[in-house]
A and B are shown apart, each in its own frame.
Chain A
Amino acid sequence: MSYLFTGKYSDANLPLLLSEIRLPRILGAVLVGGSLSVSGAAYQGIFRNPMVSPDILGVSSGAGFGASLAILLSFGLVGIQSMAFIMGIVSVCIALSVSKIMGGTHDRILMLVLSGMIVGSMFGAMISLMKYIADSEYKLPDITFWLMGSLAEVTLTELKAVFPFIGLALIPLLLSSWRLNVLSFGDEEARALGVNAARLRVIVIACASLITASAVSITGLIGWVGLIIPHFARFLVGPNHKVLLPASFLVGGVFMLIVDDLSRSVSSLEIPLGIITSLIGAPMFLILLRLSSKHTW
């Protein structure tokens, strides 16, 4: 602490420790937590359903499969992360095209959700297959740990690599936030109010998926954050996406920072992030539901 204010230190490793290990980890936690939450909020708006999480179109399972395959093929860290990113995006593209092809006269949102489920479970099965054929001494543990999520290996280089993607995708998302509000009344009414609903949906899904895939590719799968933080943020600032999206980012970033600190300090062994977010997230969700039922939203 005194180093931060006075620049004096007794342990020679301190500056290095702070800038190379702690700082990236803190930045990573905020960036990933914020990203997952903001894309969760956007997905919930697009699907007009507060029970939707960023995994709904299969981003996470796709990324999980990409990472497992890369680990199986003994790729390096960069390879694993790129594969996770690419497969995350691919799975969303597949879900979108399946819903487009099969769509016909069915309800578009329903078709999207169903296609997302199909793609998600396909990639889920592929992940199991990867695990099954993986060498159980080295590769299987690697895959398992990746799927549980961690910020332990995040470096500044990786953050620099994903930040442009997240930043670029955030801009159109924030710019379309008012129209996202209007979409709450459903496609038809939004169109009658002058919103091109189909185009808006593609833009928002593309941006939110890009953000999720970027975040997941550097940390592995971290559940619940994208579902519960937007709820919490909506509870705090209301449903207007113009305020809700930035608020979700902030709340998600802070939440992830706390969770990451817990995961490092609760026991001598570092607990994977995904486990803690689920352990905290599930009961917190219950409390939020209880609180919100009094407010009826």
Chain B
Amino acid sequence: MMKLEIRNASLGYHRTMILQNVNMELHTGETICVLGRNGSGKTTLFRTLLGLLPLQSGEILLDGRNLSSWDRTQFARKVAYVPQARSLPFPFTVMDVVLFGRTSHLKPFASPGKEDKAIAEWCLDKLNIIHLRKRIFTQLSGGEQQMVIVARALAQQPSFLVMDEPTSSLDFGNQIKIIRQVNELKDESLGILMATHSPDHAFMCDAKVAVVQEQTVMVQGDCKEVITEELLKEIYGADIRIHALTQSAMLSRKICIPEI
């Protein structure tokens, strides 16, 4: 059991504060969906949590230790990042890209060996994209690239997975695949922090919810309690009905239906 937490934090850039008074906790074995409209500061929150953007004030603790006492290699073995946009200037193969995820487990000047390749293949297999192994990463579709980046994150064998809108460029089928994968990983006791624009995803993952709004992380709690019609109206400025499905045990969850 491990914990990634952020306490009394102000987040932002040199002169402009984006988020203030942020308190949040992510445990292994749970999923937190971060909701919030475009530009509300979700990515800033993620980049700060990952130590890519310096904290303006407050503290971040991983496993009880301050972030500054973790070096990048140690941190990368615990927390993996699936970023939003990506660009790759050179024609690396999918296998190479997934092997990049092994870097934090290598000795300082070493390259990945047989064992690392086996792990990378296992990750590709787990996501059902082993057939892409020899393809050139830059020639893949957006959805395929997304899956490869998830595989790369898994190859880090982390305890936490921070995913910035992992479903944004995916078709409906691939979105469902990612959600299923998130649920599976949660059951394998990973802690997952996921930004999403669809409140339905929170219901599908049976996740906790954190809402980024008005320069802070406002509401936090279980999706079934927190996500209300009033909250959705407040976040998205639209009338959205929430229905509870009760047809069968498989489909007993809430869904969002926007009024058009």
Q: Which of B52, B77, B103 has the most CB of A within 10 A?
A: B103
Stretch at the interface among A192-200, A260-268, A281-289: A192-200
Contact indicator A188/B156 (Cβ below 8 Å): no
Q: Which residues of A contact B100 (CB under 8 A)?
A: 181-182, 185, 193
What range describes how many residues of B lie at the interface? 35 or more
Q: Tell me, in angstroms, the Cα distance from A185 to B93 when the chains sit together.
A: 13
From 72 to 96 in chain B, residues with beta carbon under 8 angstroms from any chain A beta carbon are: 72-73, 75-77, 79-81, 83, 86-93, 96
Report B214-239 residues with CB < 8 Å from chain A CB: none
User: Is A193's CB under 8 angstroms from B91's CB?
Assistant: no
Query: Is B112 positioned at the interface, with any CB of A under 8 Å from its CB?
Result: yes
Residues on A with beta carbons closer than 8 Å to the beta carbon of B104: 193-194
A184 at the A/B interface (Cβ < 8 Å)? yes
Q: Residue B244 at the A interface, CB < 8 A?
A: no
CB-CB under 8 A from A104, the residues of chain B are 14
B92 and A181 contact, CB distance less than 8 A: yes
List chain B residues, Cβ under 8 A from A238.
91, 93
In the assembled complex, the CB of B86 is this many whole angstroms from the nearest CB of chain A, namely: 6
Q: Is the pair B111, A242 in contact by a Cβ cutoff of 8 Å?
A: yes
B172 interface hit (Cβ, 8 Å): no
From the candidates B73, B83, B89, name the one contacting A194 in the complex (CB within 8 A): B73
Which residue on B lies nearest to A196, using beta carbons? B72
User: Least Cβ distance of B161 to chain A in Å?
Assistant: 11
Complex-state Cα separation, A242 to B99, whole angstroms: 14
Contact flags (1/0) for B97-133 with A, using CB distance below 8 Å? 0001101101001111000000000000000000000
Nearest A residue (CB) for B93: A238
B54–chain A nearest beta-carbon distance, Å: 11
Which residues of the other chain, B, contact A297 by a CB distance below 8 angstroms?
90-91, 136, 138
Is the Cβ of A239 less than 8 Å from the Cβ of B91? Answer: yes
Q: Given the complex of chains A and B, what is the CA–CA distance between A104 and B13 in angstroms?
A: 11
User: Which residues of chain B have C-beta atoms less than 8 A from A178's C-beta?
Assistant: 103, 106, 109-112
8 A Cβ contacts from A211-270 to B: 234, 238-240, 242
A192 touches B112 (CB 8 A): no
Interface membership of A108, Cβ < 8 A: no
A186 and B103 contacting across the interface, CB-CB below 8 Å = no
A 95-129 binary contact with B (CB < 8 Å = 1; else 0): 00000000011000000000000000000000000
Q: Does B178 contact A (CB under 8 A)?
A: no
Is there a chain A Cβ closer than 8 Å to B47's Cβ?
yes
B224 vs chain A, min Cβ distance (A): 32
Query: Residue on A with the closest CB to B75?
Result: A194
B72 engages A194 (CB within 8 Å): yes
Question: A188 to B103, Cβ gap below 8 A?
Answer: no
Q: Return the contact of A186 from the options B87, B92, B106 (Cβ within 8 A).
A: B87
B89 touches A193 (CB 8 A): no
Residue of A nearest to B87 (CB): A186
**Residue of chain A at shortest CB distance from B86:** A185
Residue B50 is within 8 A (CB to CB) of chain A in the complex: yes
Give A49 to B104 CA distance when docked, in angstroms.
24
The answer to whether B89 and A195 have CB atoms under 8 Å apart is: no
Set of chain B residues within 8 Å of A240, measured between Cβ atoms: 92, 96
How long is the Cα–Cα vector from A104 to B139 in the complex, in angstroms? 35
Contacts of A192 in B (CB 8 A): 50, 52, 76, 79-81, 83
B112: chain A residues at CB < 8 Å are 178
Choose among B51, B100, B101 the residue with the greatest number of A CB atoms under 10 Å from its CB. B100
Q: A47 — nearest CB in chain B belongs to which residue?
A: B89
Contact B106 A188 (CB under 8 A): no
**Given contact pairs A105-B13, A242-B111, A195 touches B91 in the complex (Cβ within 8 A):** no
A240 to B47, alpha carbons, bound, how many Å?
A: 28
Q: Do A184 and B89 form a contact, CB below 8 Å, given A193-B104, A194-B73, A297-B138? A: yes
For the complex, is A139 an interface residue (Cβ under 8 Å from B)? no
Residues of A within 8 A of B (CB): 45, 48-50, 104-105, 175-179, 181-182, 184-186, 188-189, 191-196, 234, 238-240, 242, 295-297
Q: Closest 4 interchain pairs by CB?
A: A194-B104, A194-B76, A297-B91, A239-B90
